């Protein structure tokens, strides 16, 4: 049986090439729309921007989640690689700082990415798996710095996520007038995480169940 056209060096049929180009155009348009309007950006508007029917978009991406993951998988992979590199740095505190700067820097200018990491979508196995991976990387970088005595021991993964929420609001408020303002707030919080600055806190951290419920609520 002869090999497929793609593996034999024969160009793909025009219809297949057109379909691939349309898919790429949808992803590019969705990337811009999600960055500006968040994960609830109008799919109809995305299709119009491409100049194709909404039905064509749905043939490529049957659900909004499918489109979201196609848009953000490269950025998520970039973040994963940075977070894994931070775990290999000689100085755990420096690794923790680099990890946080990477996470919050990726939020800047991309409301869609901010939404995706801030919310949970329980009906989607793909986003749940993504969040499990991100949560593991948060935990690994945090625990490493805590074991080294750099980060106060009462900080939890939930504290990092709530800081993500706060940073999203700062970005929304200052993006047009002071687009780098989020960095000041982040470094204030990084200083607050230092073990040497520890003071008793008036409230306990969110439990995993409370955090999950809050993230689901944000997506509703």
In a domain, 106, yes or no: yes
Is 205 found in the same domain as 140?
yes
Count up the domains in the chain and report the number: 2
Residue ranges in the chain modelled with pLDDT below 50: 1-3, 5-7
Question: What domain range includes position 163?
Answer: 72-219
What pLDDT is stored for residue 1 in this prediction?
A: 47
What pLDDT is stored for residue 198 in this prediction?
A: 87
What pLDDT is stored for residue 213 in this prediction?
A: 94
Query: How does the average pLDDT of the chain come out, rounded?
Result: 90
What pLDDT is stored for residue 95 in this prediction?
A: 96
In a domain, 67, yes or no: no
Exposed/middle/buried for residue 200 (C-beta within 10 Å: 0-12, 13-18, 19+): exposed
pTM, two decimal places: 0.83
Sign for the pseudo-dihedral over CA of 154, 108, 29, 17: negative
Is 140 found in the same domain as 40?
no
Residue 69 DSSP symbol:
H
Please give the Cα distance from 122 to 85 (Å, whole number): 29
Q: Are 113 and 75 in contact (CB under 8 A)?
A: yes
């Amino acid at each position: 049986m002869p090999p497929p056209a793609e593996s034999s060096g024969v160009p793909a049929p025009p219809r297949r090439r057109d379909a691939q180009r349309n898919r790429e155009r949808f992803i590019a348009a969705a990337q811009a729309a999600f960055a500006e309007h968040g994960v609830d950006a109008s799919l109809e508007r995305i299709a119009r921007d491409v100049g194709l029917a909404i039905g064509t978009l749905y043939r490529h991406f049957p659900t909004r989640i499918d489109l979201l993951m196609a848009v953000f998988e490269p950025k998520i992979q970039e973040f994963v690689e940075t977070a894994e590199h931070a775990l290999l740095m000689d100085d755990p505190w420096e690794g923790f700082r680099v990890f946080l700067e990477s996470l919050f820097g990726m939020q800047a200018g991309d409301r869609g990415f901010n939404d995706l990491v801030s919310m949970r979508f329980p009906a989607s196995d793909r986003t749940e798996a993504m969040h499990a991976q991100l949560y593991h990387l948060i935990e690994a970088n945090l625990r490493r710095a805590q074991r080294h005595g750099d980060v106060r021991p009462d900080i939890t993964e939930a504290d990092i996520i709530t800081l993500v929420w706060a940073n999203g609001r700062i970005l929304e408020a200052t993006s047009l007038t002071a687009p780098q303002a989020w960095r000041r707030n982040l470094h204030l919080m990084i200083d607050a995480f230092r073990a040497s600055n520890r003071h008793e806190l008036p409230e306990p951290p969110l439990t995993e169940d409370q955090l999950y419920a809050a993230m689901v609520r944000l997506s509703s």
